[in-house]
Structure 1
Amino acid sequence: MSEYWNPKTELLPREDLRALQLAKLRLLVEWAQARSPHYRRTLAGIRPEQLRTWADIDRIPFLTREEWMRSQEEHPPYGELPVVGPDAAIRVHTTSGTSGRTPLRALDSRKDWAWAAEMWCYALWAAGVRAHDVGYVAFGYGSFIGFWGLHNGLERIGALTVPGGAQTTPNRVKQIVDFGATVVASTPTYALRLAAEAEATGVDLRGGPVRTVILSGEPVVAETKAIIEERWGARAHDTAGMTEISTVFMFEPTGRPGGSHIIEDHFIEQVIDPETGREVGYGERGERVCTSFGRSTTPLLRYRTADVVVKVPSRSARTFDLYEGGILGRVDDMKLVRGTNVYPSAIEAVVRGFDGIEEFQVRIERRGDRDEIVLCVEPVPTMGDEPWGRLADDLGRELADAHEGLRFHVERAATETLPRFELKAKRLTDLRPAPTTRSV
């Protein structure tokens, strides 16, 4: 049985793949110009036949989240991006809203949703999921797009699919065991929580049938992924998706850790310098910009995702480019503390390297005229004062080493006092007063 879901395109020579992308781009521009009020304005003066080379893509302006949100506010509830109204759609999904901002709303037709399931099939098949598997989806099934597409992708492959919505964490662990799940899907944070619940109730996940854990919803640092694999006794696969793009857009090849292939027959993925907007080369860190060919109801052309990535060439027969390490973080997650750039993913990479930590939170605050950063750690309940003291010292030292000497205040939290998360975790809070502007 082939390891490729679509070998015809996954093995295309690069020059043929690029030609396919440009042909699809011309069709997409023509479609969006003719039907979307937003693109009728922003693509004015651009003719599809002008898009002959990769450099010609720069003729197309970027689309930002702020533009999309403003369009929704001015033309509620869906804005001017969609090519049809809700009467021609069968689904609406929203962003999670964890940032406190108004969720984006995206419409999908029946064709769009079938395409979304197809994208998940690329990912699931590459992860080794087959028709004989039992998939458990540990997800709340609300309006947030989350794992809806994965559910449909599992069914499309032929796997028995168990929806784990409206369940407590103990009940989900019980269902995973009772149904003999071989594949479990959740956010990275919730995979750790499920593992902790299993251990607390005497469930041996390592000796059970689960062999694949599908992770999505958050950037996954290597240290967290290694812990998940150790606690589950299974291979963890990092995927990613966005409500704006519709479900998944990249996946990890089985047995080849370290990178996630872009599904390039269905997307154009560019990496730009977030300051200049210019495309960067292989191996350079930058911001993802996505053009999606599969979503016809809400077209997406050069969407600035704010995801931080590094693109590298393929290292296997599959010719699709890779994102080294998957999503590395978010451009808008970076905080400046006393002249040092601080990313939540970099903090997590250090914290996850230590045993005995149940949960953690990061707090940035102003003390007098000085910014301070606090790491609040909830250790395992059995940890005594002396081991805790050593852990706090070691954590502080390694965090400083990873952040140009910036001092972190490490504090202990009482057992079960820090928040637990089922969907996207929010572990960094900036309590500093907003900067004031002075009129001149």
Structure 2
Amino acid sequence: MGNYWNPEIECMSREDMRALQSERLIDVVTRVYENVPHYRAKMDAIGLKPSDIRSIDDLCKLPFTTKQDLRDTYPYGMFAVPMDEVNRIHASSGTTGKQTVVGYTANDLEVWDDVVARAITSVGGGKKDFFHVSYGYGLFTGGLGLHGGATKVGASVIPVSTGNTKRQVQILKDFGSTIISCTPSYALYIAETMEEMGVTPDDIHLKAGFFGAEPWTEEMRREIERRLGLKAYDIYGLSEIMGPGVACECSEQAGMHVAEDHFIPEIIDPDTGEVLPDGAEGELVFTCVTKEALPLIRYRTRDIAKLNVEPCKCGRTTVRMCKPRGRSDDMLIIRGVNVFPSQVESVLLELGFAAPHYQLIVDRVDNHDTLEILVEMDASFFSDTVAGIEKKERQIRNMLDSTLQIAASVKLVEPKSLGRTEGKSVHVIDKRKLID
């Protein structure tokens, strides 16, 4: 059995959970209708009144919310409380269009701390731990989100933030950090830096890590665990819903438990919007039923995932979501074939002789889509013969062709020639968007 922060909720029967969700859904629909003009207009447009929502079975009647709704009402038009009740504001990076602005009341921040505390407790974390936060602090929700939950469980929080990786390694070694949180790609960068500094996993004290904010594979999990000497757990969240802690793996590493007393998940067909049955893969949608400042209704995450309602071996009964396979808006359609960057990562890690640093460059030549994959060589075979490098290129290309079901050009490049980042990695350059 696992460790519980709130066993009454985490082990609640499915019937009782649905009853709680129904009660909270009815309340939040009334609140947004009365306090958010944008939602009232959307519901009025389809002839839907709050009184039409009587249980969770009526959730599908409600209109979807998208990131565009937040941009159209920028910055505070979707807030459901007066601004003097908003205690904190976060925002997305705004790399495409306007930033999406999110807000939290004092109670929202308490809930956020609580769901992150559940995650930390579920993997055995607590008062005796030194919690090393390598997510960025500021408008990004990662740093402060993990910080708050770690503080709530009583851990000693080390707010390192991002950057200066050699200093990060020195702190891991000297301060006795036992749990780390950062993006999975940055975890590998830390491991790489450790190796350059002559620091081994035996020289540090890490037992667990929470990694999220970008898609990552099971192969990457094993690589992180091997090189950092810890157990790697997936934590999921997005600013619009709350931040990290919306869902997280327990010690079983068998799917992420959704805090579904606060966030109701659905899986829909991304093309039709139809709700799909349990176990089907599709786009993940969330409804916030307890959030006060920004209670989003049926928010389309664009993440491709599955839900599992079976009880976990840890004893929790909350629904579990699988690791997202990618995003519907990150999925590439190349010559009619769906391609996810995570498929490339899986191949590279399975082969073992290439670093999981790669970039997909998609272009269109004479109305024909082309795909070039740049793969960073591992330093251990960079000095190999030309014939040896060509052989490895062929091996990678053949395995990628089989996995992706399309032909791709593969080019091995020098170690560390592809950019490193403490935040989310950029794995795709789609030049077609520049010319379409």
Shared fold by TM > 0.5?
yes
Output one character per residue of 1:26-52: Cα deviation in whole Å (capped at 9) or x when no partner. Answer: 111122122222222223454444323
Conservation of the 8 A alpha-carbon contact between 2:267 and 2:285: yes
In structure 1, what is the Cα distance between the partners aligned to 2:433 and 2:50?
Answer: 48
Task: Establish whether residue 138 from structure 1 lines up as the match of residue 134 from structure 2.
Answer: yes
Find the counterpart in structure 1 of residue 359 from structure 2.
361
Superposed displacement of residue 216, structure 1: 1.2
- The aligned amino acid for 1:43 is M
Instruction: Tell me: CA distance 1:392–1:105, structure 2 relative to 1, closer, same or farther (3 Å).
Output: same
Runs of 5+ consecutive residues of structure 1 not aligned to the other structure:
none
Conservation of the 8 A alpha-carbon contact between 2:165 and 2:190: yes
Find the counterpart in structure 2 of residue 416 from structure 1.
416
- The aligned amino acid for 2:60 is D
Helix, strand or coil at the partner of 1:194: helix
Find the counterpart in structure 1 of residue 349 from structure 2.
352
Task: Establish whether residue 106 from structure 1 lines up as the match of residue 89 from structure 2.
Answer: no
Bigger mean CA deviation after superposition, 382-391 or 196-205: 382-391
Instruction: Write the mapping of 1:17-416 to structure 2, written as runs, cut at 5 A.
Output: 17-44=17-44, 46-72=48-74, 77-78=75-76, 80-97=77-94, 99-165=95-161, 167-206=163-202, 208-247=204-243, 248-254=245-251, 256-316=252-312, 317-324=315-322, 326-358=323-355, 359-383=357-381, 384-385=384-385, 386-404=387-405, 406-416=406-416
In structure 2, what is the Cα distance between the partners aligned to 1:143 and 1:408?
Answer: 38
Output one character per residue of 1:393-424: Cα deviation in whole Å (capped at 9) or x when no partner. Answer: 111111111122x1111112223221001111
Helix, strand or coil at the partner of 1:43: helix
In structure 1, what is the Cα distance between the partners aligned to 2:388 and 2:258?
Answer: 44
Superposed displacement of residue 12, structure 1: 1.3
Conservation of the 8 A alpha-carbon contact between 1:86 and 1:107: no
Helix, strand or coil at the partner of 1:184: strand
Output one character per residue of 1:188-234: Cα deviation in whole Å (capped at 9) or x when no partner. Answer: 00000000000110111245310001101111211111110111111
Superposed displacement of residue 431, structure 1: 1.0
Helix, strand or coil at the partner of 2:80: coil
Superposed displacement of residue 166, structure 1: 5.9
Instruction: Tell me: CA distance 1:387–1:128, structure 2 relative to 1, closer, same or farther (3 Å).
Output: farther
Superposed displacement of residue 70, structure 1: 1.5
Runs of 5+ consecutive residues of structure 2 not aligned to the other structure:
none
Helix, strand or coil at the partner of 1:289: strand
Superposed displacement of residue 290, structure 1: 0.3
In structure 2, what is the Cα distance between the partners aligned to 1:232 and 1:61?
Answer: 44
In structure 2, what is the Cα distance between the partners aligned to 1:261 and 1:84?
Answer: 29
Conservation of the 8 A alpha-carbon contact between 1:239 and 1:250: yes
Q: TM-score normalised to the size of structure 2? A: 0.93
In structure 1, what is the Cα distance between the partners aligned to 2:270 and 2:347?
Answer: 26
Q: Among all aligned residue pairs of Structure 1 and Structure 2, give the percentage whose two residues are the same amino acid.
A: 31
Bigger mean CA deviation after superposition, 81-90 or 343-352: 81-90
- The aligned amino acid for 2:31 is W
Instruction: Tell me: CA distance 1:101–1:344, structure 2 relative to 1, closer, same or farther (3 Å).
Output: farther
In structure 1, what is the Cα distance between the partners aligned to 2:373 and 2:343?
Answer: 13
Alignment coverage as a number of residue pairs = 427
Output one character per residue of 1:263-304: Cα deviation in whole Å (capped at 9) or x when no partner. Answer: 111111010011111111122110011011232011111111
Conservation of the 8 A alpha-carbon contact between 1:375 and 1:408: yes
Q: TM-score normalised to the size of structure 1? A: 0.93
- The aligned amino acid for 1:401 is S
Conservation of the 8 A alpha-carbon contact between 2:358 and 2:418: yes
- The aligned amino acid for 1:418 is L
Instruction: Tell me: CA distance 1:67–1:167, structure 2 relative to 1, closer, same or farther (3 Å).
Output: closer
Helix, strand or coil at the partner of 2:198: coil
Conservation of the 8 A alpha-carbon contact between 1:214 and 1:239: yes
Superposed displacement of residue 427, structure 1: 0.7
Instruction: Tell me: CA distance 1:50–1:277, structure 2 relative to 1, closer, same or farther (3 Å).
Output: same
Instruction: Tell me: CA distance 1:38–1:253, structure 2 relative to 1, closer, same or farther (3 Å).
Output: same
Conservation of the 8 A alpha-carbon contact between 2:172 and 2:204: no
